[in-house]
Amino acid sequence: MIEFKDVEKIYPNGTQALKDINVTIEKGEFVAVIGLSGAGKSTFIRCINRMHDTTGGELFVDNINVGALKGSAIRRFRRKVGMIFQSFNLVNRTTVIKNVLVAFAPDNPFWRTFLGVYTKKQKLQALEALEQVGILDKAYTRVDQLSGGQQQRVALARTLAQKPDIILADEPVASLDPITSKRVMNDFTKINKDMNITILMNIHHVDMALEYADRIIGIRAGEVVFDGKASSVDDVVLKMIYEGHVEQQPSSGEENQVYVG
Ligand SMILES: Nc1ncnc2c1ncn2[C@@H]1O[C@H](COP(=O)(O)OP(=O)(O)OP(=O)(O)O)[C@@H](O)[C@H]1O
């Protein structure tokens, strides 16, 4: 479970990126975070694995106070929380399997990682992760010979190999064409449903967010202005998230909380 309690983030230059965030995300949810560029979506996601430090409030992941973690405890914690980026973050000039094996580097002595020596168990786990995203046949292909969608699957496999409880995805389909984007979104859905891994995804494509996620969090100027089921998002809600005003109260269900800033 992820719990934001009055979380605030002010960058060193004085920009307030998050204000009074109070959100709880249960294990196994698929949540899409939407909002205008600069609204605070990336900051929201990146506070969860301490890529950014919060400057106020408290953030808990499975009852671990994320802000209190130090040194090796942060590294251990990050094993539970996988991260997927728009740019895939792969080493292009080497094979798919070597990119996935990088997931085990924190567990190995330095010399093993340096020489690229992994255990048989780790190799089998890496191959299993590739199978889970349907690209086992590409295991020994160089990454720069793959399409963008296949590269994002390699990144997903690398994250799966570390057996995370949560996957944070920051604009994972932003650089992919519509068909490939749908394939990658289907991979996320499969991982979420079959493996009960919580997915928290920052995404600009509203239509895809509504199609694939169960829950939508709308952020505007650093504040959560909508938090509810994807099925309850209508034009009024979208106007509130993207334009900041409401023409009429949405006909909401009990679980559809709407805050107007
Ligand atoms: N490292 C930083 N230092 C200072 N300000 C920052 C930093 N990173 C982000 N910001 C600012 O914080 C605010 C929120 O940025 P953030 O990247 O979280 O927004 P976003 O909704 O993810 O935007 P986008 O959709 O364009 O990626 C913006 O005003 C941004 O300029």
- For the chain, give the number of residues: 261
Domain that holds residue 217: 2-258
Q: Does residue 176's CB lie within 6 angstroms of at least one atom of ligand 1?
A: no
In this structure, the residue with its CA closest to atom 7 of ligand 1 is: 11
- Averaged pLDDT for residues 94-102: 93
Determine the longest span between alpha carbons in the chain, in angstroms: 63
Per-residue confidence at 17, pLDDT binned at 50, 70, 90?
A: very high
Identity of residue 149:
G
CA of 173 to the centre of ligand 1 (A): 19
Label residue 130 exposed, middle or buried (CB < 10 Å: 0-12, 13-18, 19+). Answer: buried
Atom of ligand 1 nearest to the CA of 202: 22
CA of 203 to the centre of ligand 1 (A): 14
Q: Concatenated DSSP letters for 163-175?
A: --SEEEEESTTTT
Q: Does residue 15's CB lie within 6 angstroms of at least one atom of ligand 1?
A: yes
CA–CA dist 213, 189 (Å, integer): 8
Q: How many Cα neighbours within 13 Å face the side chain of 232?
A: 19
Per-residue confidence at 109, pLDDT binned at 50, 70, 90?
A: low
Per-residue confidence at 259, pLDDT binned at 50, 70, 90?
A: very low
Note the pLDDT of residue 88. Answer: 83
The total number of structural domains that make up the chain: 1
Q: What is the pTM of this model?
A: 0.89
Label residue 68 exposed, middle or buried (CB < 10 Å: 0-12, 13-18, 19+). Answer: exposed
Note the pLDDT of residue 114. Answer: 63
CATH code, domain with 32? 3.40.50.300
State whether residue 201 is helix, strand or coil.
strand
Q: What are 171's two structure tokens?
A: 């604009």
pLDDT digits (tens, 9 = 90+) for 185-205: 999 999 999 999 999 999 999
Q: Does residue 244's CB lie within 6 angstroms of at least one atom of ligand 1?
A: no
Note the pLDDT of residue 212. Answer: 97
ipTM: 0.97
